[in-house]
Amino acid sequence: MKIQWLGHSCFRLEESTDSSVVTDPYRSYIGIELPKVQSDVVTVSHDHDDHNFVEGVSGNPVVLSETGSFDVKGIHISAIGSSHDEVDGAKRGGNLIFKFRIDGVDVCHMGDIGQECTPDLAEAIGPVNVLLIPVGGNYTVDAEQAKEYVDRLMPDIVIPMHYKTRGVELDIDKVDGFLRQFDDEVVEYAESDTIEISRAQFDGEYTRVVVLELPEEE
């Protein structure tokens, strides 16, 4: 499978059969433009403008924005309810965590998770090979809280998202604070917006932190 980062919390996940999912497409008010992208499915973790730009994705995709289990073009998708803040959604509402089974790989997109990682939530999420998690704080968990999720879920690979990058005007932190939570030898810079992943890469010895590059502007 392939994981392509399109900026902010938006990724394109592609199965070997060419079936694909786009997560949390964003509007340009955040300071960057969503690249042209096509997909079979779009997932929306919550109805905020930096996560719900469904019309920015071509291909007449199926849109998933509620809890449940779904099967679309060979991809199994589960949506788990959670909170966008630390007070049970009282400040910013709910958030959906999406989990995808693609080419035998379990990928979890945490959306704008704002609550702490409880044992019940970790159990609901279950085993994770690849964790896509916000690390910029303010609107989501911060670097230290994101590390707690990593320690609890123990993914093979974690890819940070929703942090301050070139052009982004939101009041969120850069990725550096999150990377400092890990030993240097487990942090990898992909030098690309895309990574290819197979189950054969997982040895279970430690979590790799993979930092993807923001796609080049057209």
120-165 per-position pLDDT tens digit: 999 999 999 999 999 998 889 999 999 999 999 999 999 999 999 9
Helix, strand, coil percent values for the chain (each to nearest 5): 15, 35, 50
Question: Which has the higher per-residue pLDDT, 216 or 8?
Answer: 8
Cα-based angle 155, 159, 165 (whole degrees, multiple of 5):
160
Give the Cα separation of 8 and 15 in Å (integer). 22
CATH label of the domain that carries residue 205: 3.60.15.10
Which pTM was predicted? 0.94
What domain range is 49 assigned to?
Answer: 2-211
Domain membership of residue 217 (yes or no) is no
Which pLDDT band holds residue 172 (cuts at 50, 70, 90)?
A: very high
DSSP conformational letter for 78: E
Domain membership of residue 216 (yes or no) is no
| Structural domain total, the chain | 1
Mean pLDDT for the chain?
Answer: 91
Domain membership of residue 17 (yes or no) is yes
Domain membership of residue 218 (yes or no) is no
| Predicted confidence (pLDDT) per residue in 88-119, tens digit | 655 665 899 999 999 999 999 999 998 888 89
